[in-house]
Amino acid sequence: MPEKKTAKAEEKKGKLETAKKSAVRSKKATTSGSKKAVVAKTGSARAFLKDAPVSPQKARLVANLVRGKRVAEALSVLTFTTKKSAPLIAKVITSAAANAENKGLTPKESLKVSRILVDEGIKYRRYRSVSRGRIYGRLKRRSHILVEVSSDK
């Protein structure tokens, strides 16, 4: 009886090892080809900032200033913009440009801000007591900022 169990266990073990080897081979084949294809197809790099402590409406005003501009020009515009979201967006643009350089796309000078999105993040609810035992609610809005840079060509 124990001999049957060991034979079956060895057979299962052999099948598992062959399945693992084939899975590793197929995974290597798909990942190595797909990474190169993504870089070649997109030609762009992204950066995110999640839960930025600024309302989306106010951040979109600044995002509209730099949409479609070259990275160097966008950063100089944001340097002299006196809005709370300007340094946050500048930081994300810098990060996206660094991601593009690390991907090996193009140098920082020949990149432009191809896409910039400001989406609504989570809302914190805060309350304040007022007269007659009532409370007034307030929403502290946050936003998600996405910046995509691509070559200027």
pLDDT in tens, 48-71: 999 999 999 999 999 999 999 999
Angle between helices 86-103 and 56-66 (to 10 degrees): 50
**Is it the case that residue 3 has pLDDT exceeding 80?**
no
Residue type, 27: K
pLDDT > 90 fraction of the chain, expressed in percent and rounded: 63
Report the predicted TM-score, pTM, of the whole model to 2 decimal places: 0.69
Q: Half-sphere exposure (CA, 13 Å, Cβ side) for 109?
A: 0
How far lies 121's CA from each of 50, 55, 99, in Å? 7, 9, 24
Burial 30-59 (b: 16+ CB within 10 A, else e): eeeeeeeeeeeeeebbbbebeebebbbeeb
